Amino acid sequence: MMLDVHLKLVIKELKSLGIRAAMLTGDSEAAAMYAQEQLLDHALEVVHAELLPAGKATIIKELKEEGPTVMTGYGLNDAPALAIAYIGISMRISGSAPAIDTGHVILMSNDLGKPSGLLAKLVGKLLRM
Tens digit of pLDDT per residue, the chain (129 long)? Answer: 556 667 777 788 778 878 888 999 999 999 999 988 888 777 888 899 999 999 999 999 999 999 888 888 877 788 899 899 988 888 766 656 666 677 777 777 666 666 556 666 666 666 665
Q: Which amino acid is at 110?
A: N
Q: How far apart are CA 20 and CA 69, in angstroms?
A: 10
The whole-number pLDDT of residue 92 equals 64
Q: Which fold has domain 7-124?
A: Rossmann fold (3.40.50)
Q: Determine contact, residues 60/71, Cβ cutoff 8 Å.
A: yes
Q: Determine contact, residues 69/63, Cβ cutoff 8 Å.
A: yes
The order of strands in the sheet holding 105-107 is 70-73, 87-91, 105-107
- What is the separation of C-alpha 78 from the centre of its chain, rounded to a whole number of angstroms? 10
E strand or H helix at 73: strand 70-73
Angle subtended by helix axes 7-16 and 116-128, to nearest 10 = 30
For the chain, the domains span 7-124
pTM over 0.85: no
